[in-house]
Amino acid sequence: MERAKEKKREKGKEPEKEKMRGKGKEKEKRKEVEKKKSKEKVKEKEKEEKRSKEEEKRKEQETEKEQFKGKEKKEKDNNSILTKPPLEPREKNKQILVLGLDGAGKTSVLHSLALNRVQHSVAPTHGFNAVCINTEDSQMEFLEIGGSEPFRSYWEMYLSRGLLLVFVVDSADHNRLPEAKKHLHQLIGTNPILPLVVFANKQDLEAAYRITDIHEALALSEVGNDRKVFLFGTQVTENGSEIPSAMQDARDLIAHLAADMQ
């Protein structure tokens, strides 16, 4: 009798056990779902961070591009470049011509003379670059013409109307000094009395020829007895620093020669 009752009680407990097992499985299932959701949230967060970094990088690249464009535009504005030269040189207000091979440092020298401070130029002059320099007594108008092959055809055209010639050479570029000499002598050969001021530039470089070497390499002793010839060693080093005394002396001399030629 007692055994029968015990069996009956055990039988009654079975549904409860099944119910408890069902609850346990459901709880485990919920944990799995929550775990899966948690992983998905972590992945989504990682994706969001990656998108944020990519967006930040993109904005930085755009900012760099804008800064580069602004710098390039500023450089062009500083150079006052005229991409298309006038058909004829101006009759009035004769200019001081600044010529020389490409890479000699003409623009850097010219802007440094104008500002009385070292002003580097990294962009080559593609065309014409007009700069006015004021002194205590007068205003000088300089015209630089690009030194690369396409622009050399304009050199002689403007030389006939120039007050004087400033010719810039790279003292450290030994291989191109013969080329510079050839073009210089071709230019001055058309005008036997035009004053000549030569800037032996980049004197700060270790490989630079000294003044006496430049004088010989350019054969300046052969430019004519009736011509005023001057040779200055120049350098444009630390940006923003005051120009060397030699460049100040050269500027004063150019102003004096220009006044005499007008």
Output the known binding site: 100-107, 125, 147, 201-204
- Could you tell me which residues are annotated as the binding site for Mg(2+)? 107, 125
Q: Is 201 within 8 Å of 109 (Cβ atoms)?
A: yes
Strands (E), the chain: 81-82, 96-99, 128-134, 139-145, 165-170, 196-201, 229-233
Q: Which residues sit opposite 144 in a β-bridge?
A: 98, 129
- Could you tell me which residues are annotated as the binding site for GTP? 100-107, 147, 201-204
Q: Is 246 within 8 Å of 118 (Cβ atoms)?
A: no
Question: Considering only CA atoms, which of 76, 260, 253 is closest in space to residue 166?
Answer: 253
Question: Considering only CA atoms, which of 247, 250, 227 is closest in space to residue 237?
Answer: 247
- Please measure the distance between the N-terminal and C-terminal CA atoms of the chain and give it in whole angstroms: 142
Separation between Cα atoms, residue 174 and residue 167, nearest integer Å: 16
